[in-house]
Amino acid sequence: MPSKPSANSEPSAASKPSAASKPSEAKKAAPAKAEPKEVAPAKPAQPPIKLSAVGAPKAPSAPKPPKASASQRQEPPKATAASQDPKKSTTTAKAPKTDKNKKQTSTSPKQAATARPAAAAPAIKLGSVGAPPAPGATPGTTRKTPAAKEAAAAKPAPKQEPKQEPKQAAKSPAAKPAPKEAAKTAPKQVAKPAPKQAPAAKATPPAKPKAEQKPVPAPAAKQAPKPAAKAEPKPVPPAAKTEPKPVPPAAEKSASQPKNLPEPKQVATAQPAPQQHPAPQQHPAPQQHPAPQQNNVPEALAIPPENKTVKKDRRARLRQVKGLDGLRGLAVLAVVIYHFFGDILPGGYLGVDLFFVLSGFLITSLLVREYRVNNTISLKDFWIRRFRRILPAALVTLFIVTAIVTAIGGDIAVGIREQFLGTLFFVNNWTQIATSQSYFAENEVQVFAHYWSLAVEEQFYIIWPLVTLGIFVFTQRRLRRSPRRVPMLVTALLAVLSAAAMALLFTPGEDPTRVYYGTDTHAFGLLIGAFLSLAVTSTRNDPRVDSWPSAGKFEARVAGAIGALALVGYVIQLLFMGDDLAVTYQGGLLLTSVLGVLMIWGVIRETGPLTWIFRTNVMRWLGQRSFSLYLWHWPVIMILRALFDADGHMDHKWILGLAAVPIALLISEISYQHVENPFRRRGYKQTWKDYWASRPSFHEINEGFKKVAWPVVPLLVVACVGGVVYGVVNSNDKTELEQELDQLQRMNQEANKGNAPAPATPPPPKEEKAAAVQGKDITAVGDSVMLAASEALNTNYPGIYIDADVSRHYTAGMDVLRQLNDSGKLRKNIFLGFGTNGPAFPNQLEEMINLIGPDRQIFMAMPYGDREWMAQSRQDVLDAAKAHDNVYIADWCGHAQSHQDLLFEDGVHPMPEGAQEYAKSFDEALAQAANHEKKTTTTCA
């Protein structure tokens, strides 16, 4: 086939007679100035080198051909080595691939060789090695012109058109005119000796250098490689014989080249190249254009369309202000002190409001800059960044703490199912509101109660970008107004509505958890921070501008001074504004948010005392770890209390706070370094890839903590998941107190039906109670405290009628008394136990006493507890005793205060041992009535 003839033509060039014929070719090649390089490839003998020197001057287009010829004379062996160099052969091998089609179109393999000029680059390499055409790397283009000339001369060579029979073309007389054309061009001169040397060329690989000649087309290389691969192994030894004399290393290279497939391709192209020169039709410049096009392709790919990196560079960023980290540090420090040492900093809970203001300011600044730079807001990217910032640390804390709490059990694990699910979906605040949890009752706060603020922020992050984008689009495209005014007005209006809702829904004397936890009533802090952001954030569309530009030095100094005054006001609030004051919810928290905004304004101007304070290393360190510290500090103190102060009667509770500080700081540092930062900076996928790629060997595990932690992580995950499943499935929804109250409630119901069980304990001596009053003459109505002491009342007063329930207020008690009075079951002596769940409403207690009537004796328990309304509840009882002769005081408050160790953890309800103290208070009241020694005071401090 066509490849075989090319192989035959190669050996002819390699044979010794070819070397002899090359001088004659050199004479013919003298006129061909453009292509001395083709002579260089035929270097199996030194004479071709002389021919190359002769051919060098033939290239008029290249001004350097004489120098090239000199170099060729000086280094003829190098030329042969270059022609046989494997590296250069690879370059020529690539060209043949592009020239296959050219061979098919050409009339002969010689013409296919002429198509090779497209691969001018390989020819340049040959010249650089020492062949005369090396300086004419640009001459590759000049070859195109001679190629065009050869095209005219090649017209008489249609006889050689059959591509499949290059051997015949070389033998045919048509091949002889080709050398005449070679006289015009160097490649043609090589063509004549090629047919003469054909018999010996088969064994010689030197013909391969000819393949390296740039004019050889890619198709010729492809046809030749197949035969070359077959014929070359044989000629390897002769090639070594001819070339070792001038250059032994070159000969070794030539011997090694025939073994490689790419080299035979070059060999085939090398010899046919001179023969194919007569087919200049393929040599024209238009055919060589594809080569530069291939060079342009990678250049086009080097400038790809906008990718993630480019988008990242175009993303608007906020100026880094170190003082903002310090502000976070102040906020988290206040919260930690409030939870660990509440008496020292009564207003420490205000740190959460400072967090809200900072979050609203920073988030809105990001939204404003993104919209101004990109004319839109990518909600998807925004939410992904928020989730990467919050979810990893929050969920890790949630799973680990749930597993630990479940393992500990007891009251700390009560309601863990609702806590876990509410926290997982960031609705913890609404879950606690729905289950009537209190944030301000120290002994009733849940282990995940602090997640309420995180839930409020997450809900804000979902809603606020949508609102902001809508306002921006409406303002810019419809109203065509300033990008500041309308958004600022809307934000201010929403903030005022939120603060007003808190003030209106708050009821003095009642638990403020609803207005404190509610997203609707506590969003004003976030909105006030957003208002400041809209006022100071740059609206320029250049992503590199300062995000919070200053109006000048005067404005910066004013901001610094006002911020310092705001800091003083904030510290005063921390010291004196407790969570039980009505002013806190009727404007106090709003003032805190305003002070926070002023502090942020002063910090971003980086002038004045705020900068000096909040840029300190300690404040910045706390601020950078504020999120992890906030997540971990409360579970740590709660777990310590469950382990070392389960009954709530520890004398020095501050010791637990001191122990919790280093533990919380250590865990928060680990969370910050190994959970927060990796996910926030590299994302979920890359972090997990990095984690898996860092799996260590046993030796590496012993070298450091990081490697040791790798195998521990899966164990922790399994343990946490198992603990969560166990805890959720076996969650106990009621505390020990609630379970006790349920049991007592059932006992009371049975007793009221006349099926009262025998008293568990013997009744006290007769002298301890008034003989005139028996259980059948007593009706007791009250709340959960009376219910907790109901067993003792039944023991002391067999046959007593008790109707007590959890969370009962005077309002519910009125309905019970009315029903009993209407049914005729209301007895002569009435025990009332109210006030624990709130004071009586105006005239409510008076109405209740009138309902009972003046002909009955009323004994009212003095309430006890740590609720803020207890003082009012006690005053209600004292006022009623003073106003009515038939009302007596049962001083339960005095007994409870003297026996706090007999109370449950909540510090309100009596344990079974403390229930007798509750019953004794009524015994004393009955004695007052019997002895007509009424007291209107209490021993309760």
Q: Which of 223, 257, 284 is the last residue of a domain?
A: 284
Q: Residue 672's Cα: distance from chain center in Å?
A: 13
Q: For residues 446 and 639, what is the distance between their CA atoms, to the nearest angstrom? A: 11
Element (H, E) at 183: helix 177-184
User: Which residues share a beta bridge with 830?
Assistant: 779, 858
Three-class secondary structure of residue 832 per DSSP: strand
| pLDDT score of 476 | 81
Q: Are 80 and 243 in contact (CB under 8 A)?
A: yes
Query: What are the tokens at 203?
Result: 């064994």
Selection from 819, 825, 830, 821 nearest residue 752 by Cα: 825
| pLDDT score of 704 | 72
Judgement on whether residues 436 and 529 belong to the same structural domain of the protein: yes
Q: Where are the alpha helices (DSSP H) in 537-649?
A: 553-576, 582-583, 589-604, 609-614, 617-624, 626-644
Number of neighbouring beta carbons within 10 Å of residue 893: 24
Judgement on whether residues 273 and 181 belong to the same structural domain of the protein: yes
pTM above threshold 0.75: no
Q: Residue 488's Cα: distance from chain center in Å?
A: 30
Quick one: three-class SS letters along 312-359?
A: HHHCCCCCCCHHHHHHHHHHHHHHHHHHHCCCCCCCHHHHHHHHHHHH
Any domain includes 603: yes
User: Helices 351-374 and 322-340: crossing angle, nearest 10°?
Assistant: 150
User: Which residues share a beta bridge with 687?
Assistant: none
Query: What are the tokens at 851?
Result: 């309902």
Long-range contacts of 820-826 (CB under 8 A, 24+ apart): 820/779, 820/781, 821/851, 821/852, 825/779, 825/801, 826/779, 826/852, 826/856
pLDDT digits (tens, 9 = 90+) for 84-142: 443 444 333 344 444 444 434 444 444 433 444 444 444 444 443 444 444 444 444 44
Any domain includes 522: yes
pLDDT digits (tens, 9 = 90+) for 381-391: 999 999 999 99
Q: Are 616 and 326 in contact (CB under 8 A)?
A: yes
Handedness of CA 248, 254, 255, 257 (dihedral sign): positive
Q: The CATH number of the domain where 833 resides is what?
A: 3.40.50.1110
Element (H, E) at 831: strand 829-833
Judgement on whether residues 209 and 88 belong to the same structural domain of the protein: yes
Q: Are 383 and 463 in contact (CB under 8 A)?
A: no
Any domain includes 483: yes
Element (H, E) at 895: helix 892-898
Judgement on whether residues 397 and 253 belong to the same structural domain of the protein: no
| Distance (Å) of CA 179 to CA 28, 193, 295 | 8, 9, 33
Query: What are the tokens at 114?
Result: 């002429």
Q: Which of 222, 256, 284 is the last residue of a domain?
A: 284
Any domain includes 315: no
| Distance (Å) of CA 440 to CA 516, 551, 869, 870, 906 | 10, 44, 12, 14, 12
Judgement on whether residues 271 and 327 belong to the same structural domain of the protein: no
**Total tally of structural domains belonging to the chain:** 3
Q: Taking the chain (941 residues) in consecutive chunks of 10 residues, what is each chunk's mean pLDDT?
A: 40 38 39 43 45 42 45 43 40 40 41 42 42 43 45 45 41 40 41 43 43 43 42 43 43 40 42 44 45 42 48 72 95 95 90 96 94 91 92 95 92 89 94 86 82 95 94 81 82 96 90 92 96 93 89 91 96 93 94 96 92 93 95 95 81 87 95 91 86 75 69 83 84 71 72 51 45 81 89 88 88 89 88 88 88 90 85 89 90 87 84 88 89 82 65
Judgement on whether residues 658 and 765 belong to the same structural domain of the protein: no
Any domain includes 687: no
Judgement on whether residues 216 and 333 belong to the same structural domain of the protein: no
What's at 453, amino acid-wise?
Answer: S
Judgement on whether residues 544 and 481 belong to the same structural domain of the protein: yes
Q: Are 862 and 888 in contact (CB under 8 A)?
A: no
Query: What are the tokens at 438?
Result: 């209190």
Any domain includes 900: yes
Q: Are 778 and 829 in contact (CB under 8 A)?
A: yes
> Domain containing 99: what range?
3-284
Q: Which of 631, 666, 701 is the last residue of a domain?
A: 666
Judgement on whether residues 329 and 473 belong to the same structural domain of the protein: yes
What's at 858, amino acid-wise?
Answer: I
Phi–psi pair at 426, nearest 5 degrees: 55, 45
Q: Are strands 829-833 and 801-804 parallel, antiparallel or unpaired?
A: unpaired
Any domain includes 679: no
Judgement on whether residues 255 and 365 belong to the same structural domain of the protein: no
- Mean confidence (pLDDT) of the chain: 72
Judgement on whether residues 159 and 90 belong to the same structural domain of the protein: yes
Judgement on whether residues 654 and 744 belong to the same structural domain of the protein: no
Any domain includes 690: no
| pLDDT score of 935 | 83
Q: How many residues are given for the chain?
A: 941
